[in-house]
Structures are given as structure tokens and as C-alpha cells.
A and B are shown apart, each in its own frame.
Chain A
Amino acid sequence: MGTISSDSASVFEPISPTHTAQPSREVMQKLPDEPVAIIQPSGSWSALNLRELWTYRELLYFLIWRDVKIRYKQTALGATWAIIQPVFTMLIFTLIFSRVAGIKSDGFPYPIFAYAALLPWIFFANAVTTSGNSVVGSANLITKVYFPRALIPAAAVGAGFVDFAVAFVMLLPLTFYYRVSLSLNILLLPIPTLLVLLLALGVGMWLSALNVKYRDVRFAVPFMMQIWMFLSPIAYPSSVVPERWQLLYSLNPVTGIVDGFRSALLGQPFKWTTLGISAAITLGMLIYSSVTFRKMEKSFADII
């Protein structure tokens, strides 16, 4: 006695229709026999769930689209920045490395020689930097909604690739200007392009996961990229490296990729060994980083 029952009728209040909505609603859809999803602690060794990634491909598209849209919002020059960055770097390199330091360029005009390498390098450096910070920058998403976390660094790489495509267009006037004739080698351009994309994804994904736990990554990456650039044949041809160091040198996957770009764009013969080493290291990196990412993503929401 002496209690108000909120769902019983009262003389003061008409029966509210909502309280009559008991769970006896037989509008039910038929439930599947097998669970659609099972949530339980996963083992520490599991690779990326490719099937799941495929079902989320539309989200990947939207995340790339978002990054591309907002990148140049409220900038006066807009997407021109994608061209300005490599072109100005090319000019500075020409001035310093070619004119002042007198670095050889395998017989090609230095500007186009540098541009052919800066194209993949600037993409790579930007993609690794932005995707390395991408997971931490998406803390609000990670703590509020589920989707495969790998989409976040992947979208950052994908958005960078759009810039790469824009900067690529600039290559045409350069080849005309310096009268570099394109050879059939250009048909093989997709090979180094795919490799640089996968390498950026591998390194970016690994750094993005590491960054969640160790914010040191944010400070280390720009520095690391600078050193990496000088360890790669960007400002100079890989031929300046002495023969006995060549093998060690080609363990840097960027070497094979950049040489591949130069071969495809400038018509130099392909160095298949170097490219093969690059491909193997790139794939190894990608597998390693997706396993690491998978292992760490479980705790993202808890520690971000």
C-alpha cells in the first residue's frame, strides 16, 4: 500500500497510450539462427578482417571524401597547394643540389629528375604524417561508434593520394618543357604507384596505432621523415651510392619505389632486383603493421 504505480490508471490522468505498448508486439522480423556479431575477447593474434573491411568500403569512401573536402576549405589557393608543394620543393632542390652542390642527375634535366622522385616522396611523407596522427585525431569517433579502425589511417592515405594525382598533372608541362620523351615504361607506372600506396599505408597504420599509446610519435615522425628522405634517392640518383653499399641501400623500400618512378617516367631501365626487394619489404611491413594495429585497436577506446 501507499505507493504510486506509474503504469496503473488513475482518476486524475487518462491512461497514457505509451504504457499500453507492452513487448507483445508481433511485428517482429525473423531472427537469424546464427549471431550476426559476436563480441568477446579476441586472441592477440588476428589479422585484419578483410571481409568486414569490404562491407565498410562506403565509409572508407566517405572518410576520404571528407578529408579531401576539408583539406583546402577556407584556403585562397585551394587544391593548387597540391601542386605548389612539389613544384617549390623542386625549385629549391634544383638551386641547392644541382646548382650549388653540383649533384648529377643521370643525364636528365635536374628539375624533372627531382620532380619524378618528389612526386611519390611528398605523397609518402604527407600520407605517413597525416595517417600517423589520424587515429588520435579521431578520438571522438573511436569512443562513440564502431567501425573497423583501420579505415581511419587508410582514409588519410587515400586522401593524400588525391593530392598525388593532382600533382601528377604538373608532370606533363615539365616533360614538354624539358623535351623528355615518355617511353613505353610509363605503362609500368602502376607498379611503383601501388607500392608507394601500400608502403604509406603500412607505415602510417603502424604509426597511428603506436601514437595512441605513445604520443611521442607525433614529434618523432617529421624528424624521421626528414632523415628518411636523405636516405632515399630523392635529391640525388641512387647510382651515387657505391656498389658494395647498394644492397644495404635498397633495403630502404623507398629506394626501389623512387627508382621505379624514375624508370617509368623518364625511361631509364627498371632495376627489378631493387624493385623486388622494395615490394617484399613493403608487403612485410603491411602485414606486420596490420597485425600490430589489430592487436592495439582493442584498447584504442580505453586509452585514447
Chain B
Amino acid sequence: MKPIIKATNVAKQYQLGAGQNSFVTLRETLAGVVRAPLRRFKSNQTASDNSLWALRDVSFEVGAGEVVGIIGRNGAGKSTLLKVLAHITEPSSGRVELYGRIASLLEVGTGFHPELSGRENIYLNGAILGMPKAEIRRKFDEIVAFSEIEKFIDTPVKRYSSGMYLRLAFAVAAHLDPEILLVDEVLAVGDASFQRKCLDKMQDVTQAGRTVVFVSHNMPAITRICPRTILIEAGRVAFDGPSHEAVRMYLGSGMGTNAAREWPDITAAPGNEVVRLCGIRVRTEDGKTCESIDIREPVGLEMEFEVLEAGHVLVPNYHFINEEGVCAFIILEHDSEWRRRPRPTGRYVSTAWIPGNALSEGTLVISAAISTMDPVTVHFFERDVVAFQIIDSLDGDSARGDYAGPMPGIVRPLLNWTSQHTPSNSSSPSGGNTL
């Protein structure tokens, strides 16, 4: 298939410090000129540290009508990639060829003006997103109907509730008719029913044969909408292929999240002046650090931390996220010894044991935190620290029994079943011998 988007060796470099994320004043520039010779006496590391490659050698093609997801950790470069594709920022090198009209939806309601009415904003927003005036006029009624705010169409949008505002904004965006649509996280806003509606609309759009590039953290949405996903890691394409594989790779150990993670340098470890994280390990019962765990075996999650300031009640806790991005559960330390008791300084190891035959199979990614409950303080919250895989064998003694097919669900407990049997002859009305 001939590509509609062809990206070749796209790279984007940002200058850190002056000029990046903050504006400079003339005085700072002048001061920088004065300081520049002095900088040479410092370590020669500064020169390379001052720039950041947000994207490096990114090449891919998107066929016409394809729906491609882009995932990656925060700061991996996926938003930069979208901005390059959307023509918002220029690549430092490389080239993107677009064989179709492109519209970007990096935010819902770009250019909405609070003082203008809903009607006026439809025209303004449509024009900003690249819709010709005649087309907006033609689709106007449809947009208003989709937004469900007919009654308030002549009210300034500053008087709208946030829900109404979003509905109107999305209604305009949904009626864009470009050949290529770039979408960034817009579905991460609004209430559940609105998100549902957006997702459905996205699916209509994709089924109409439009090319869509969709950046999201919402893994279920990615797997649902996009057959293919590009995983961006540290500015490079780490994987490009079927979405469920990309999602698994993103959440699983492929991304450097292993069953164990250590912070040898305590000053650089997550935490604050009260407590710092030293390490997290996924253990089996015999003490081995292990990435793949049999569904029937208990899993131990070991957190090692150093208390630097005595006198705080500290509660280690874990968040379990499955490969669809759903939080399976959260656990807090339940240790009678340290419950409501301020901890003296020193090193601690806390281990939580998840019994066998409780979790479902698949990858679980763990975020770890230490909090104080009264008053609520989060000393650190480290996302996606470790990951492990639960494997359900087909031996027949796990919860799946003799069934060998896919089994959805967040948990897969092995429960006690009771069954009562009433022999069929006892229910016969005669009660006598039946032969």
C-alpha cells in the first residue's frame, strides 16, 4: 500500500536551559554572553547536557486508511512526534512527506474564546482546525445536534459547564474531514459517558477509511481502535507492530522495568528528606527474584527503603496495573509492628505476599509509594517500577481447570465450590421404585 505519511529519519533536538520552556529576557542573553567564557572552565560535560534529543532517527510509514497508535512513557517523545507531524514544530533533521490534508486535534477546543457564543465558537474553532467556512455552515446543524447544547448555542461559552464546553468542542472536532487526523489524548478528558461517545465517534471515523494517528496513555482505547501501534522509547521507535504486542511490550519488561529495581545511590533515589526508596523486588516463595510466576504460587513484593528522619508513620503501598492500563488493586502495608507507630531511622524491608491462585494471567506493572496517612503525605510515588508476568499452566489444578482458551478478568481466584446433588429419581412424584 502506498503510504500517506512517510517519515524518514526524523530527529528533534531541544536546547535545554536558556530558551527551552522558559522565555529569555534580553538581560539574560547579555548575561549569558558575559558568562560564556567562564563556562569553559567547568566540566566539558555541559555542552552535551545542554541539548536533548526528543526524537532520533524516527522512520515509519502509515498507509492510507490505517489507524496507528503511538504509545510511550512520559517524555519518550511521542508528543514531540505528533507536533512534528502536525507541523507545529520543525524537526532538526529528517523529513516527513504527507500525501493528504492533515488536521491535528492536540487539544479539544483549541482557540475557543470564552466571550464568544457557542455558535461563534463553532465557526472560529472550525476555521482554526482548517475547515472552510462553507463546510462549517453546511455541517453546522449536525455539529450542534452532536453536542446536545441546542438551547445554549447563543450563550457565551464562559457560562457553559465544563461538560457542555467539552461536548461542543468535540462536536466540532468530530466533524473535521481531513484525510489524516492526528489525535492526542483528547479522550482523556470528560466523564465516562462522554469518553465513551468520543471513542465511538473515533471508531466511526476510522471505519470511514480515514487515516488516524492516535497518541494515548489509554491502553484499552489503543488496543480497541488501532490495529497497529508504534512504541516510542527515548525518542526512538522501539516497536512497530500489532497493538496488543506493543502494549505488552510497553507495560512489560521490554521497557527496562524488570522484576527488580535498585537505587544504589540514595541521593538520586525516589523519596524526600524523610524516606528514600532503595529497591523493589518481585520474589517467589523460595526467595528468588523472578519475572514469570506460576499462577498457583504466591508472589512476594519486597520494598527496601531507608528512613532518614525518625518520627514518621510510614505506610508502603503498591498499585497493580494490568496490561490494559486498568488498576487491578492497591495494597497498603498491614504490619502490626509498624502500624500507627513512628519509625526510627534505618533500613527497612517490607514484603507483601499475594497468595497463589488470586491474580489473573498476564503482565502486571507495579507502582510503588510510601505515604503517611495523617496528615496525608506522599513521600514518593514511583510509577511502573517493576513488572512480572503471571503464567497459567494447563496442568488442570488452577482456576482455569481444563479450559485452555483465553480467560479475561483482572483476578482469577481459585475458590471453594460446593455442589449439591439431588439424584433425579428422588424428585419423581411417586417416591416409590421406578424401574
Contact = CB atoms under 8 A, between A and B. Distances in A.
A12 B209 contact: no
A21 B206 CA distance: 9
Nearest to A70: B115
Interface stretch (B224-232, B259-267, B278-286, B330-338): B224-232
A145 B66 contact: no
A301 B88 contact: yes
Interface stretch (B22-30, B43-51, B297-305, B413-421): B22-30
Which secondary structure characterizes the binding site on chain A? loop
Contacts of A42: 90
B209 A302 contact: no
A27 B14 CA distance: 40
Interface in A290-304: 298-299, 301-304
Interface string B110-129: 11010110001001100111
A144 B19 contact: no
Contacts of B88: 142-146, 301
A13 B107 CA distance: 34
Contacts of A4: 361-362, 406-408
B227 A21 contact: yes
B99 A6 contact: no
Contacts of A302: 14, 19-20, 89
A181 interface: no
B112 to A, nearest CB: 9
B116 A36 contact: no
A243 interface: no
Given A28-B65, A39-B91, A1 B406 contact: no
Interface string A18-56: 110111010111011001111111100000000000000
B257 to A, nearest CB: 18
Contacts of B84: 39
B207 interface: yes
A27 B25 CA distance: 53
B2 interface: yes
B395 to A, nearest CB: 12
Contacts of A58: 127, 132-133
A13 B408 contact: yes
A37 B87 CA distance: 9
A19 B403 CA distance: 23
B172 to A, nearest CB: 12
Contact of B86 (A2, A19, A25, A145): A145
Contacts, number: 191
Contact of A144 (B2, B107, B244, B392): B107
B103 to A, nearest CB: 8
A38 B227 contact: no
Contacts of B228: 23
B246 to A, nearest CB: 12
Contacts of A13: 408
Given A146-B104, A302-B20, A141 B115 contact: no
Given A21-B207, A35-B99, A303-B20, A141 B361 contact: no
A17 to B, nearest CB: 9
B95 A39 contact: yes
Interface of A: 1-13, 16, 18-19, 21-23, 25, 27-29, 31-32, 35-42, 58-59, 62, 65-66, 69-70, 73-74, 140-147, 212-216, 298-299, 301-304
Of all A-B residue pairs in the complex, the 9 with the closest CB atoms, nearest first, are A27-B209, A146-B87, A35-B97, A62-B127, A2-B391, A39-B96, A40-B95, A10-B406, A301-B89
Interface of B: 1-2, 4, 6, 14, 19-21, 23-27, 29, 63-67, 83-102, 104, 106-107, 110-111, 113, 115-116, 120, 123-124, 127-130, 132-133, 179, 203, 206-209, 223-225, 227-228, 242, 244, 248, 324, 361-362, 389, 391-394, 403, 405-408
Given A10-B405, A37-B102, 8 more contacts: A1-B394, A4-B406, A11-B403, A27-B65, A35-B97, A38-B96, A39-B97, A146-B104
20 contacts: A4-B361, A4-B362, A4-B407, A6-B244, A18-B225, A27-B65, A28-B65, A28-B209, A29-B209, A31-B4, A36-B101, A36-B102, A37-B98, A41-B92, A62-B124, A144-B110, A145-B110, A146-B104, A147-B128, A303-B19
